[in-house]
Amino acid sequence: MAVEQRRTDRVSRSTPYPVIATACLVLAVATGWSTMLLVVLGRVVPGWAVSAVLLSLSLVLARALAGRHRSAVDRTAPWWAPLPRFVRGLLTAAAALGSTLGVLDDLGADYHVLRPTGPHGCTAVIRETSFLFAGSGELYAMGPTGFAWRSSASWTTDDGYRPIATGTYELSWGPDDGALTVHGSATDPVFTGGPHTVDCR
pLDDT value at residue 132: 77
3-state secondary structure of 53: helix
In degrees rounded to 5, what are phi and psi of residue 174? -105, -170
Q: Residue 66 — very low, low, confident or very high, per pLDDT cuts 50/70/90?
A: low
Mean pLDDT taken over the chain:
81
Contact of 48 with 97, CB cutoff 8 Å:
no
What one-character DSSP code corresponds to residue 133? T
Average pLDDT on 141-157 reads 88
E strands, 48-201, are 110-113, 123-131, 134-142, 147-148, 153-158, 169-173, 178-182, 190-191, 196-198
Residue 104 above 80 pLDDT?
yes
